[in-house]
Amino acid sequence: MNREIAEEISKLMLYCGSEIDKSVVLVKNTCDSEEFEIYRKAIGKIMGTMLVDIMNPIYKQYPDIKPPQLK
C-alpha cells in the first residue's frame, strides 16, 4: 500500500471509529441496559478488528502517520 492510500485509510478509520462511538452513546441513552451491553460488545469487536486488522498494519508500515491518541 502506498503512503497516500495509507493516510486516507487511516483518516477514514478514525472517522468511522468516531461515528461508531456516537452510536454507542445513542444506544446507551435510549435502550435498556441489556440491549446496551449486547450492542457495546458487538461494537467492541468491530473496533478491535478495525484496529488490529486494518490500522495496526498501516501504522507498522508508516509509523509516523499513527495519530497521537493511538500511541
Query: Domain for residue 18, yes or no?
Result: yes
Residue 70's pLDDT is what? 84
pLDDT grade for 5, boundaries at 50, 70 and 90: very high
Q: What's the structural domain count of the chain? A: 1
pTM here?
0.86
Q: Is the pLDDT of residue 71 over 90?
A: no
3-state secondary structure (DSSP) of residue 20: helix
Contacts of 55 (CB under 8 A, 6+ apart): 10, 13, 70
What percentage of residues in the chain have a pLDDT greater than 90? 94
Query: Domain for residue 68, yes or no?
Result: no
Query: Domain for residue 71, yes or no?
Result: no
Residue 66's pLDDT is what? 95
